[in-house]
């Protein structure tokens, strides 16, 4: 159910960020603190994806983009990589019906080639099942890098120029933005990073140009509804000028 009144009296429902992106960090540290394995940390992180998705949908957020696996994450031990993709496959199967019932559309950004076959299959299946849903997009960044995204956009434009379809001077910010993984997506309004790190880590480099950034010390598995509301309150207290003057 969407909220008729704000779930937190500090939140202005008229100014909910349309697009929230999250760098979900801290699963490993969470596990260590609890005396659990890293895999259990990622499992808790995956469960939290469901909770935060639901909370965003209730608030009227239109798109939620989640950094689940970066192009740099391949450097982790193979056991951890394998277990992460098994978890992602499982989540796609477990949550597909729920995502569908709540009119949420699953999307992917990144390079599908290179994902383990079972993960690519389960992500595709979930996308297919939810493709006509309209209330909110959940976009999962898998095998995603912000620089790689811009490089593949540049290649498409170079190809079009080679074929004589465009001239170099036709290349504008709008035209480049249309070659990104999800060209119809709005730019990010609010970027949240959990676990206190002050880095962008090659995430959505193009789309976060004017995003408000909120970094919270909370580890991802502990990032609950209240933490989301706090981030939105902080966002709403900012004065967004997009480079202009008040």
Which residues are identified as catalytic?
Answer: 25, 73
- For the CB of residue 114, give the shortest distance to ligand FPP in the complex, in Å: 16
Among 16, 21, 46, 191, binds ligand FPP (CB under 6 A): 46
CA dist 100 → 76, 92, 96, 128, 129 (Å):
32, 11, 6, 10, 7
Among 49, 56, 59, 232, binds ligand FPP (CB under 6 A): 49
Q: Find the binder of ligand FPP among 7, 29, 60, 176 (CB under 6 A).
A: 29
Considering the rule CB under 6 A, would residue 24 count as an interface residue with ligand FPP?
A: yes
Residue nearest to ligand FPP (CB): 28
Q: CA 111, CA 233: separation in Å to the nearest integer?
A: 34
Our CB check for ligand FPP shows the closer of 38 and 157 to be: 38
Residue 190's alpha-carbon distances to 56, 126, 224, 232, in angstroms, are 12, 26, 17, 8
CA neighbor of 205 nearest in space, from 62, 64, 21: 21
Give strand pairing partners of 109: 141
Closest CB 23 distance from ligand FPP, rounded Å: 8
- H or E segment and range at residue 30: helix 27-33
| Cβ 102 to ligand FPP shortest distance, Å | 15
- 246 vs 240: CA distance, rounded Å: 9
Alpha-carbon gap, residue 225 to 187, rounded angstroms = 23
| Footprint (CB under 6 A) of ligand FPP, residues 71-110 | 73, 87-88, 91
Site string for ligand FPP, 108-147 (x = CB under 6 A): --------------------------------x-------
Give the binding site for ligand FPP (CB under 6 A).
24-29, 42, 45-46, 49, 66, 68, 73, 87-88, 91, 140
């Amino acid at each position: 159910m969407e909220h008729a009144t704000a779930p937190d009296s500090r939140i202005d429902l008229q100014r909910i960020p349309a697009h929230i992106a999250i760098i979900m960090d801290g699963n490993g540290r969470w596990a260590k603190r609890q005396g659990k394995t890293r895999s259990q940390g990622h499992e808790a992180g995956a469960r939290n994806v469901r909770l935060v998705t639901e909370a965003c949908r209730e608030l009227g957020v239109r798109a939620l983009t989640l950094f689940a696996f970066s192009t740099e994450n391949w450097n982790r031990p193979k056991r951890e990589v394998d277990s992460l993709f098994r978890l992602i496959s499982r989540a796609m199967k477990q949550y597909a019906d729920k995502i569908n019932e709540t009119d949420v559309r699953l999307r992917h950004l990144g390079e599908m080639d290179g994902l383990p076959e079972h993960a690519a299959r389960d992500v595709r299946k979930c996308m297919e099942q939810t493709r006509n849903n309209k209330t909110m997009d959940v976009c999962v960044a898998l095998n995603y890098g912000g620089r790689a995204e811009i490089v593949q956009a540049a290649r498409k434009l170079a190809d079009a120029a080679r074929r004589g379809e465009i001239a170099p001077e036709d290349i504008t910010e709008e035209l480049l933005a249309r070659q990104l993984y999800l060209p119809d997506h709005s730019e990010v309004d609010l970027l949240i990073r959990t676990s206190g790190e002050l880095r962008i880590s090659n995430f959505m480099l193009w789309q976060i140009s004017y995003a408000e950034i909120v970094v919270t010390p909370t580890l991802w598995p502990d990032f609950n509804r209240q933490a989301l509301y706090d981030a939105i309150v902080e966002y709403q207290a900012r004065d967004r000028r997009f480079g202009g003057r008040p």
